[in-house]
Amino acid sequence: MRRREFHASEALGRQLFSDLEVMQVAGVDPDGAPVLKTVNGVVDEGWVCFHGSPAGEKTSLVGRPVVVSVEETIAVLPSYFMDPERACPATTLYRSAQARGVLQAIDAPARKARVLQRLMEKLQPEGGYVPLDADSPLYRAQVSGLLIAGLPLDVLTTKAKLGQNRTPTQRATLLEKLWARGDVRAVELIRAANPDTPTPAFLAAPEGLTLHGWLPPTRSGEAAALLAGEYWNDVFTPGELERAHRGATAWVGVTEATGALVATARALADGGKYGWVYDVCVRADLRGRGLGKALMRLLLDHPAVRGCRVVRLGTRDAQGLYAQFGFVPAQSLPPRPYVATEMVLRR
Ligand SMILES: CC(C)(COP(=O)(O)OP(=O)(O)OC[C@H]1O[C@@H](n2cnc3c(N)ncnc32)[C@H](O)[C@@H]1OP(=O)(O)O)[C@@H](O)C(=O)NCCC(=O)NCCS
C-alpha cells in the first residue's frame, strides 16, 4: 500500500468481509479474459465464501488467482471543508479490504450447507426458514448442485482512509463540520481510528468518560439493560427496548474506560417540525456528575433533532434537568388558536 498511514488491521479487514453484504471477485479465466463478479459473500472459518451456479462465470475462476474486494464509503468530504476556493481537497473517506489467493471450490456437503446457512443468517437474520442441512430432503439437491467457492483470508490488505493524513487539530475541525452536516457515524469512526484527535467541544465529557453522538445497533442490548428497571419501561420487554434504540433517529451515549455503555438517551425526530426525547438514563453510580446534562446537550444538538421546532418529552420528576434546556410544562404554554385533542393508539 502506497500510503502507509491508511493501512488498517487485519481484524478490521475480516470484520468488513463479515459485515458488508456485497463484494467483488476479480480474476482472469482460462482463455485470458478478465472476469469481475459482484457476489454476496460471507466469512466461514477464516475463509471468504460465496455461491454461484456451476455453469456460471464464477466457476471459470476456480483454481485461479483472484482478488476479492469489499469497500464502504464513510463520508464524501466537500472541498470547501478545507479550502474556500480550490476544488482539489474534495475527497472521500472509506474503509476497504482486499483478499488475494487461489479460488477453491468447496466440495464437502456439510461445509457447503454451513456456508449457505451463514449467508442466510447474514442476509435474513430474522429467520423464517428451516436451517440449512446437507442431509435434509429440503436442501440435499440444491446443496450438491450449487457452486460454493472461497479462499482463506490469509493475504489480506485493509485500508481505512479516515483522516489520518491530517493534523489532530484539522481532524477535530473536520469532526465539527461532519457533525454540523449530519454525518454522525463518520464522526465516531474517525475518532476511533485516530485516538489522538482532540475532543471537539460538542463531545466534551467528564474525565475518563467518552460521549458518543452515534452508537452502532449492536449496542442496543446494553442500552436496554441500563433502562430495564426504570419506571417508564416496566411495560416494555428487553426486545422492544432494543428495537426502539435501533429504530431511533438519534441515539447518543457515554462509555467509560472499559468501553461499557454507562449512559444513554434517544430521540425520534423529523428534523423540521417535531422531536420526542426518550429513555434518558445514567448508570446509578455515575449520576450527579453532569452526564445527564451532557447527554441532553448532545441529543438536542444532534442533526436530526436540532432543526425541530417543537421537542417534547415526558418525565415524572426530572423537570429540573430539562428546564435547564428550555423545556417548560406543556400546560403552561399559551393555548393554540384551535382546540386539539391529543389522540393515542395504545396496543
Ligand atoms: C435523570 C438523570 C438522567 C440525570 O442524570 P445525571 O447525570 O444524574 O444528572 P446531571 O449530573 O447531569 O445533573 C442533572 C441536573 O438536573 C437536576 N435534576 C432535576 N431533577 C432531577 C432528577 N429527577 N434526577 C436527577 N437530576 C435532576 C439536578 O439537580 C442537576 O441540577 P444542577 O445542574 O443544578 O446540578 C439520572 O439521574 C438518571 O438516569 N435517573 C434515573 C432515570 C431517569 O429518571 N431518567 C429521566 C427520565 S425523564
Q: Which atom of ligand 1 is nearest to the CA of 294?
A: 12
- Chain-centroid distance, C-alpha 286: 27
Strand order in the sheet with 47-52: 42-44, 47-52, 147-152, 104-105
CB-CB contact of 158 with 13 (8 Å) = yes
DSSP annotation string for 54-114: TTSGGGGGTTSEEEEEEEEEEEEEPGGGT-SS-STT-EEEEEEEEEEEE-EE---HHHHHH
- For residue range 218-239, list pLDDT tens digits in order: 999 999 999 998 999 999 999 9
The confidence band for 3, taking pLDDT boundaries of 50, 70 and 90, is confident
- For residue range 302-336, list pLDDT tens digits in order: 999 999 999 999 999 999 999 999 999 998 988 88
- For residue range 255-298, list pLDDT tens digits in order: 999 999 999 999 999 999 999 999 999 999 999 999 999 999 99
Distances (CA, A) of 117 to 15, 122, 131, 132, 134: 18, 9, 7, 5, 10
Structural domains of the chain in order of their starting residue, each with its CATH number: 4-161 (2.30.110.10), 204-332 (3.40.630.30)
Higher pLDDT, residue 80 or 229: 80
- Give this prediction's pTM: 0.91
Interatomic CA distance for residues 163 and 270, integer angstroms: 30
Burial of 342 (0-12, 13-18, 19+ CB in 10 A): exposed
CB-CB contact of 187 with 175 (8 Å) = yes
Mean pLDDT for the stretch of residues 189-209: 96
- Residue 1 in this model has a pLDDT that exceeds 80: no
What residue type is assigned to position 240 of the chain?
Answer: E
Q: What is the pLDDT of residue 76?
A: 98
Of the residues 256, 312, 319, 321, which should be mutated to test ligand 1's pocket, given the most ligand atoms within 8 Å of the CB? 321
Q: What is the pLDDT of residue 56?
A: 85
Q: Which atom of ligand 1 is nearest to the CA of 286?
A: 7
- H helical segments located in the chain: 10-19, 109-123, 140-145, 168-181, 184-193, 220-227, 238-246, 291-301, 319-323
Task: Please give the backbone phi and psi of residue 7, each rounded to the nearest 5 degrees, phi first.
Answer: -65, 135
Interatomic CA distance for residues 64 and 207, integer angstroms: 54
Closest CA to 251 of 268, 228, 275: 268
The confidence band for 337, taking pLDDT boundaries of 50, 70 and 90, is confident
DSSP-based three-state secondary structure for 164: coil
CB-CB contact of 116 with 51 (8 Å) = yes
CA of 345 to the centre of ligand 1 (A): 30
Q: What is the pLDDT of residue 4?
A: 85
The residue contributing the CA closest to ligand 1 atom 12 is 290
CB-CB contact of 133 with 89 (8 Å) = no
- Residue 115 in this model has a pLDDT that exceeds 80: yes
Q: What is the pLDDT of residue 147?
A: 97
Ligand 1: residues with CB < 6 A are 230, 280-282, 287-293, 315, 317-318, 320-321
